[in-house]
A and B are shown apart, each in its own frame.
Chain A
Amino acid sequence: MPQARRIVVDGNEAAAAVAHRLSEVIAIYPITPSSTMGELADSWSAHGRANIWGAVPQIMEMQSEGGAAGTVHGALQAGALATTFTASQGLLLMIPNMYKIAGELTPFCMHVAARTIATHALSIFGDHSDVMACRATGFAMLCSGSVQEAQDMAAIAHMATLRSRIPFMHFFDGFRTSHEVAKIEELSDDDLRTLIDESAIRAHRERALTPDRPVLRGTAQNPDTFFQAREASNGFHAACAGLVREAMVHFGALTGRSYDLFEYVGHPEADRVIVMMGSGAETAEETVLDLVARGEKVGLVKVRLFHPFSTDAFIKTLPQSVRSIAVLDRTKEPGAVGDPLYLEILGALREAEDDGLSMFAKAPRVVGGRYGLSSKEFDPGMVRAVFANLAEGKPRNHFTIGIMDDVTHMSLPWDPDLDIEPKDVKRAIFFGLGADGTVGANKNSIKIIGEETPFFTQGYFVYDSKKSGATTVSHLRFGPRPIQSAYLIKQADFVACHQFEFVDKVDVLERAAPGGVFLLNSPYGPNEVWDRLPREMQEAILSRKLRFYVIDAYKVAKEADMGGRINTVMQVCFFALSGVLPREEAIAKIKGAIEKTYGKRGDVVVQRNFAAVDQTLANLHEVPEPTVMTARRGRPPMVADEAPDFVKRVTAVMMAGKGDLLPVSAFPPDGAWPVATAQWEKRNLAVEIPVWDQKICIQCNQCVLVCPHAAIRAKVYDPAALAQAPATFKADDFRSKDMAGMKYTLQVAPEDCTGCTLCVHVCPAKDKTNPRHKAIDMAPQRPLRDAERENYAFFLDLPEADRTRLGAIDLKSSQFLQPLFEYSGACAGCGETPYIKVLTQLFGDRALIANATGCSSIYGGNLPTTPYTVNKEGRGPAWANSLFEDNAEFGLGMRLAVDAHRDHAMQTLAALRGPIGDPLAGEILEAVQDTDAGIVLQRERVRDLKSRLVGIESPLARRLETLADYLVRKSVWLVGGDGWAYDIGFGGLDHVLASNRNVNILVLDTEVYSNTGGQQSKATPLGASAKFAEAGKEIPKKDLGLLAMSYGHVYVARIAFGAKMAQTVQALQEAEAYPGPSLVIAYSHCIAHGYDMAFGVDQQKLAVSSGVWPLYRYDPRRVGRGEPPLHLDSGAPKTKIADYMRNEGRFRVVEKADPVRYQRLLKLAERTMKQRLAVYQQLSGITVPLFEGAGPSEGDPPGPSQPATEKH
């Protein structure tokens, strides 16, 4: 057996590399955590990498997973070898086709990075709830527990499906396996050629649907035949497990890695056995071996092939000595007798006993337990606790392990500190920021160690939920044997903290092993740093006798022109201190890796990295062994003292990274979560913040509008309020004739600002004698923090603007309204959030928001803290996320409910008109609510109504009490990205537009799937490079606005706040006021465009001035007035499209890769732009004739023929 090549890859790559080489057609759609598999397959095909038959697989990104499943189904029918990759909701969308594919006995293998299905909340992390939802499809289900297995089982699944004709779902644990980086033995092309049965492929081809030998599939069968025909395939399912075993034997003979349907590890005469599958089984195996070595009679059955379940094989795997069995499920099936694996095992044991196959002296007791939902840790302490439970006389059944259930008391206690890892495994933990490159450097280190030394390696990376200033924690292991510890490191020999700020925020030494090394990136040198540490950290260093090192990595990086990328510097320190490799050798390898990574992108980056490497060691210092505590302070509390109880009790614990410690009772049982929590998370991300110079400011409020985080705000208020102002609080006379004598303040939220500088970029007010100085300039945050914190608190207490006094809301006045969306975790400089913020300023106190899954649902609803908030009356946006694909329908449902409540309320009010009395009842029923003043008046009337209802003894009055608030106009918004609106949700969106109901749709168009990492959507513009369109998209962006206009009754606007803020504010108000469906498409600059977001506003201007993004408003009501319904808000192109494209990496990368192609695409883009503009220009000159007729025609606003709509 020749030695296999050892490679360092993650689980996704391991599986995809096999799938790509064994497929001809691959249909894909991005979904976390499986997206990488599709991306890699696409990239390999794009670069001409062939399958084992020498052909390059065809890759097709679809509009949804449903579409991907349909496509592979068709490809399979036509005789191709096909695959797909998915997870979670995506897998659920494939289920209908999976039934078909299995029912037709089609060889097919899909690969699933198993992920939690959204229930009370969405989770991107891993468990088996998605795959278990597919149990009834007829697919075989084969499970991998490690990166090596993800590769090996992928091959076995492809082998077995061809032989058995049963389609396979090969799955592994999302994140834990899909994203774990490990050293594995690679399967070569020759290996795969040896393993795959060509005759089975021939048979598949011969069954292909072809006009040369036509057959019919997909017939409709009736009661007389369906049942029998359904049973006709039984033999194939029955034979499947045997063929899988044959495949495993064949595989083992070739590679030396043996697998079986079920595998037993542990004591040969075990009395207690755990049965489970997936990565948890690796941890269980490690623990079982440790317990056996301690003399315990325990064992583990690892389930590989879950379906078709082989009872015979399972029974033979169990030792006869077993007395009790714990079956662990990584999913929850509420209402069932137990979770799926448990039920399967119970059934198998019972059948075996009934059939006389069982050889146990006494039937073992079986209990079921649940673990690891949403990637919850599953560690050796928990495995021991499960065995301890089994040792009880009457072990607890239906238990949970890994959480503290203080409500239904189902959880088992365990020892969270148990550490059984062998001492010869080196363990290191790194705390970094996303932006500093820590994870990338660690992956690099793993590759170096894995590929250049005999060590086995493992890397696992924990990210927080924020897109800006995200914390990353890397867990790295290196050891002489394959690493099975599928859990976070308990005790690290090496802890590195790459950000000094963390010493006050995170318990970085929590997992530091006694005698270990602590490396801190510190602006303070070895003689100064000690006194700067909080008490807790000093204590940990002293008590654990840590060797303490510091380096000023930012200084080294700066001197090497590396900006904020300290990754190389910290990587050198790690190698220097950990001793994994000799220093000189390590440095040479690091340089080699740098050359390999960056070499093709030019020598400048390589040279700068080299310079950073060369400067590092001279700047690395050991801190003289500290002996005494000198700290006068502890780590500051997570949230302010005045935070609400829930925030202190629950949110703050999650913010501290200790959410695992929260018991079940801490949580609302239905997923409803309090709003207004982001204000308590003071992240202090900005190195510099804007500083206001009131002498120069023209009070235009543009900075307030563009701020993505609502961290710069304006207020107008009575001068008397300044009496209590802090000393450094700034104010100026408000420049307005209508509100003379009032004061104006522009105030920054110093601890919430991300330092993106959009506000400074947009500021038009310059100091004439020194134009470099503007009305707002950036200045270091740290010296300003305390004073500005106090100023901001005072500012927030100043009275909010009186909406009824502001008159018609325009750009400037809109920015005096309180934002009800603040301090989100969106990227610094985000191009989406300013739209949401202004939406909440305009309508937030009466808005329901249905939010499609994507960036906006993540920064909108990802815990621990969320940005939607309330005004002083307690009103604010009511926000919910259903799914990615159904958001339009979800929002429509909200509208229907609100309308039903309002109609019901009006009907009830009319019935109670007598006891309530006029004029109040009449005024409410006839109220016009088309202005803020009208709404305020109606709210007051409803308040009166409620007080009068108290005195009315009637069931109708009780009913009206619950419905009365719906007499005040509500605003329903359907918000999401282009992936939703253009692709996966388009069918629903189209239907909702056609419904003629009063819903407002805001499409945050970043022209790419931003949240999952930049895959193309149908909104991606021609010429842009994106994942799945690496060489630059050939087809123009879909014109969603024009499609919507074709209905005639839909209000449509295209906006770009950076180009024309007033039009943005106007269009949003018109859309909301329009009594039918409205669609607003908003240009949203995005990090996936490949440039510094500080220039987002400049790029928006160029997008509009070059004609790429024309601004318009299409208002059907204009038809009735004899005016053209389409009004263009931007003129003829003034700048070149090339100048717009040249600034963005997504276009530049095409030019760099293939200049000739770029020129062709540029010309095409120019032509398309001109053609579209010409169409708009012609449309904007067309009036639509009004013909007399019976039915509604274009331009008829929704009227009496429509379902009841609100009065305005």
Chain B
Amino acid sequence: MNLSVRYLGLDLPNPLIAGASPMSDHIDTVRRLEDAGAAAIVLRSLFEEQILREQVSAFEHSESHSESFAEALTYFPQPQTFLFGPDEYLEHLRRVKVAVDIPVIASLNGATPGGWLNYPPLIEAAGADALELNLYRLAFDHYLSGQEIEREAVDVVKEVRRAVRIPLSVKLSPFYSSLAQFAGQLDRAGADGLVLFNRFYQPDIDPETLELNRSLYLSDHRELPLRLRWLGALSGQLRASLAVSGGVHNGRDAIKSVMAGAHAVQMVSTLLQHGPERLGAILGEMKDWMAQFEWESLETMRGNMSLKRCPDPAAYERANYVQMLQGWRE
């Protein structure tokens, strides 16, 4: 049985990747993921916005009270080694690279053109095997069109593509008006892979205290169909390889994703819930399932249920919706 896949040009023994999450913050967890059979790991994103805030707040806390009172000209020691912004991330990346043999994919969330351009070469130099660009942006600006947002994103991919040689993936949200067309643009701009889809912190409202609570719910199976549909829609249409992210919780989910067209399967929630070893169990479930249903390789399975090849493409499209409604009425 052959579970090997090629994702972002990387030859992986199986499609299961630990997605970007706090799990990658700890070297021992990363090692456990490798031991469980993870084919690669994505590090938590380097958030440029966070870097900006940290630098400014560190400056504020050390400067704002200094040199104003005769007895205390400063209130803090001044460490000579200070890992700020990318340094901290790059140092961690280096340590992870030393700790494991599987490919390590870095992740970047830029906030400014400078940030998108400055950090990728540093990440490459620190030894990342690939880079996932996390194009997370909330379009709150009333005067900024979808076209402009998409053009900026494509430009980022083009620029980064020019700046580094390592493979490049783009993690997308499902909220684009013309996702297929946009995916095509990213593909042409040089993305080696697309990750479908990002999940976000969502504000929740506390009606008693009238406060917003930032929360991140773990994913469940219900999130998978949205991803299956878009994997299905894009499978076979692009040069870039595809990864699913969000909603894969067992071997069967992983199989479905591959059938929809995924080259790789990223998992976070189930691993956070059950520990890194869960990844090994899912791999086992995949193998068992493939043995039971006599599949020799994932390569032959991939995309068999895509829009292009599935027996009932209409089920992926609007008719699907109409039918379901009718079915419900009946």
Contact = CB atoms under 8 A, between A and B. Distances in A.
A1013 B68 contact: no
A1092 B60 contact: yes
Interface in A1143-1181: 1145-1146, 1148-1149, 1152-1155, 1159
B176 to A, nearest CB: 30
A1013 B73 contact: yes
A605 B56 contact: yes
A602 B69 contact: no
A1146 B76 contact: yes
Contacts of B77: 39, 42-43, 46, 1014, 1025-1027, 1030, 1149
A446 to B, nearest CB: 13
A600 B88 CA distance: 12
B220 interface: no
Interface string A468-499: 00101000000000000000000000000000
A1153 B82 CA distance: 4
Contact of B72 (A561, A565, A1013, A1026): A1013
Interface in A998-1050: 1010-1014, 1025-1027, 1030-1031
Interface string A34-75: 011001001100110000000000000000000000000000
Interface string B68-86: 1111111111111111110
Contact of B76 (A42, A467, A1027): A1027
B76 A440 contact: no
Contact of B67 (A472, A604, A605): A472
Contacts of B239: none
B218 interface: no
Nearest to B118: A603
B216 interface: no
A230 interface: no
Contact of A1149 (B72, B73, B76): B76
B57, B64, B74, most chain A CB atoms within 10 A: B64
Contacts of B82: 600-601, 1149, 1152-1153
Contacts of B72: 35, 1010-1014
Contacts of A1011: 71-72
A1149 B210 contact: no
A1094 to B, nearest CB: 12
Contacts of B78: 43
Nearest to A768: B210
Contacts of B76: 1014, 1025-1027, 1088, 1090, 1145-1146, 1149
Given A47-B80, A1092-B60, A1154-B81, A124 B70 contact: yes
Nearest to B55: A602
Contacts of B210: 766, 768, 771
B297 interface: no
B92 interface: yes
B293 interface: no
Contact of A463 (B65, B70, B74, B75): B70
Interface in A535-569: 561, 563, 565
Contact of B79 (A35, A768, A1149): A1149
B6 interface: no
Interface string B30-59: 000000000000000000000110111111
B62 interface: yes
A1135 B268 CA distance: 23
B91 interface: yes
B221 interface: no
Nearest to A375: B70
Contacts of A437: 63, 67
A1091 B81 CA distance: 21
A1154 B83 CA distance: 8
Given A600-B82, A1013-B75, A1152-B88, A1145 B62 contact: yes
Given A434-B68, A463-B70, A1030 B79 contact: yes
A373 interface: no
A322 B60 CA distance: 59
Given A43-B78, A1145-B76, A1155-B88, A175 B60 contact: no
Contacts of A1148: 54, 58
Nearest to B84: A602
Given A1025-B76, A1153-B79, A1154-B81, A470 B61 contact: no
A1013 B61 contact: no
Interface in A743-786: 766, 768, 771
B26 interface: yes
Given A1011-B71, A1090-B76, A1155 B83 contact: yes
B66 interface: yes
B73 A434 contact: no
A32 interface: yes
Interface residues of B, number: 40
Contacts of A1152: 54, 58, 79, 82-84, 88
A472 B68 contact: yes
Contacts of B59: 598, 601, 605
A36 B82 CA distance: 22
A1011 B71 CA distance: 7
A184 B216 CA distance: 58
Interface in A1073-1131: 1087-1088, 1090-1092
A1067 interface: no
Given A605-B56, A1145-B58, A1013 B71 contact: yes
A173 to B, nearest CB: 14
Contacts of A513: none
Nearest to A175: B70
Given A1149-B76, A1152-B58, A604 B71 contact: no
Contacts of A439: 67-68, 73
Contacts of A19: none
Contact of B85 (A39, A461, A602, A827): A602
A858 interface: yes
A565 B79 contact: no
A565 B63 CA distance: 9
A435 interface: yes
Nearest to B73: A1013
Given A32-B71, A1013-B72, A1090-B61, A440 B51 contact: no
A36 B91 contact: no
B63 A434 contact: no
B81 A435 contact: no
A175 B91 CA distance: 42
A470 B80 contact: no
A32 B70 contact: yes
B51, B55, B81, most chain A CB atoms within 10 A: B55
B73 A36 contact: yes
A1087 B68 contact: no
A157 interface: no
A850 to B, nearest CB: 21
Contact of B65 (A565, A605, A1087, A1155): A1087
A463 B56 contact: no
A150 to B, nearest CB: 17
B298 to A, nearest CB: 37
28 contacts: A35-B72, A124-B71, A175-B70, A435-B68, A437-B67, A439-B68, A440-B63, A443-B67, A463-B69, A465-B70, A600-B84, A602-B84, A604-B55, A605-B56, A1011-B71, A1013-B71, A1013-B72, A1014-B74, A1014-B76, A1025-B77, A1030-B79, A1149-B76, A1149-B79, A1152-B54, A1152-B82, A1155-B83, A1155-B88, A1159-B26
Given A437-B63, A1026-B77, A1027-B76, 20 more contacts: A43-B77, A47-B80, A175-B70, A433-B68, A439-B67, A440-B67, A470-B69, A472-B68, A600-B80, A602-B84, A602-B85, A1011-B71, A1013-B72, A1013-B74, A1014-B72, A1014-B74, A1088-B75, A1090-B62, A1145-B61, A1153-B83
The 4 closest A-B pairs by CB, nearest first: A434-B68, A1013-B72, A602-B55, A439-B67
Interface of B: 26, 51-52, 54-85, 88, 91-92, 210-211
